[in-house]
Amino acid sequence: MMHGRNNGKKLMAVRIVKHAFEIIHLLTDKNPIQVFVDAVKNGGPREDSTRVGSAGVVRRQAVDVSPLRRVNQAIYLICTGARNSAFRNIKSIAECLADEIMNCAKESSNSYDEIERVAKTERQCLADVSAQRTYEDVMLSDLSLVDYIAVNKAAQSFLPHTQGRYQMRRFRKAL
């Protein structure tokens, strides 16, 4: 376990992995170690990019990933995905870890598809709301958190300190 209050708790990590393996065994009727090996095999990156160049001229070049780094990266990505999906969720970390391992073993991007589906509906709703209103209809309560909106150029564009600048207005969400 890592990050904050869970830092260094090895027994908690062992318990989570053991519980996740039990869930995998119940759902798939396969050996959970074999499912985990398949997940690590499928989840590791095959290629990476490295910086090549000297004296400021830097470009990226594709390189193969070493087997040890591929295994380490796959385990890291599975753990990070499980931790992020369990954050502020009703599912436990063991259930999320089991889902990540099973999806990775099946080469399924189910968790990514779920996130993308939710984001797509949010973008669609936002587009519908913005199509109904004009710029003048936007109220302070409609803006999320702090939005910066560029307004017309300064009225005195001939002054040197305002030349070419845009006035920025900052709105806070009404509570």
CATH top class, domain 4-117:
mainly alpha
Record the pTM.
0.59
| Mean pLDDT for the chain overall | 75
For the chain, give every domain's residue range.
4-117, 136-175
CA distances 64 to 43, 48, 68, 69, Å, are 15, 6, 12, 10
Residue pair 145/173 in contact (Cβ under 8 Å)? The answer is yes
Over the stretch 76-130, which tens digit does the pLDDT of each residue have? Answer: 989 988 988 888 889 999 999 999 999 999 887 765 555 566 667 767 766 665 5
Q: What is d(CA 133, CA 127) in angstroms, rounded to the nearest whole number?
A: 10
E-state strands within 21-128 = 47-54, 57-64
